[in-house]
Chains A and B, each alone.
Chain A
């Protein structure tokens, strides 16, 4: 069965450039599996394009961007979905929102309106990056500790796993990175990152039907 995916990847500031750079493994996996992907990259991640793309037979939406308790945003922080607009576009779909806080209010509201599953964060998603790698975020191993663990949700869902399994794998990925940084092999510099990984892990939530699959 063909699974249609929608990914938003704005890149108007450092944070969104990092998020957008780290979607590549998800894109690559989808292409290997011949899953059609609609990618709204950069300025394309706007409200009009989102509404057009999401209205089609998309099964999984992977939001990358900023957000707050009631919205996820696209390019230049334009709201794409809020508790008041476009919630119906998430109906029967699986959603992973790599955006601050949206699982606090938007996620539960979406699930109430028949979104199959909503995985996201109920607090700010915080990550650390190496400014010396800023021009090539995809090569930044420091940021990778956060973004690989986070994006395990998306890759697991594309692999056909359930929402619960995807969430669990991401949590395990966070755990692996936390444990690695706490070993004696890592210096104080690397171990300073642990608290931010713990924060993200603890604030990642899985709402809706745990058995939902893309």
Chain B
């Protein structure tokens, strides 16, 4: 795994750690997952884990637009 991927994985796990224990994430037919389960999937880099990392990357790429929109609309 590249260093970049490792860093993203660590970031995703750190973000997931802030999620409340009682929250669950529904990912269509693949099911619903609580925080600890998602972290396991991310560590394994399996399809669910890769999906969560993809979500994080999409979010990171959109940060500039989100920040501008927040500043504009308050």
Contacts and interface: CB of A to CB of B under 8 A. Distances in A.
A192 B20 CA distance: 9
A189 B20 contact: yes
A182 B63 CA distance: 11
Contacts of A77: 29
A131 B36 CA distance: 14
A198 B58 contact: yes
Residue from A15, A101, A183 whose CB has the most chain B CB atoms within 10 Å = A15
Residue from B16, B22, B28, B58 whose CB has the most chain A CB atoms within 10 Å = B28
B70 A129 contact: no
A195 B70 contact: no
Main secondary structure on A side of the interface with B: helix
Contacts of B56: 195
A86 to B, nearest CB: 20
Given A126-B55, A188-B18, A14 B29 contact: no
A132 B22 contact: yes
Contacts, number: 90
Interface string A127-157: 1111110000000001000000000000000
A67 B27 CA distance: 11
A189 B27 contact: no
Nearest to B20: A189
A194 interface: yes
B27 A124 contact: yes
B6 interface: no
A66 B29 contact: yes
Contacts of B70: 178-179, 182-183
Given A182-B66, A194-B59, A130 B51 contact: no
A167 interface: no
B55 A199 contact: yes
A87 interface: no
Interface in A173-210: 175, 178-179, 182-183, 188-189, 191-196, 198-199, 202
Interface in B18-32: 18-20, 22-30, 32
21 contacts: A15-B28, A18-B26, A66-B28, A100-B29, A101-B28, A126-B27, A128-B19, A128-B25, A131-B22, A131-B34, A142-B23, A179-B74, A189-B18, A189-B20, A189-B23, A192-B16, A192-B23, A195-B55, A195-B56, A196-B25, A198-B59
Interface of B: 15-16, 18-20, 22-30, 32, 34, 51, 55-56, 58-59, 62, 66, 69-70, 73-74
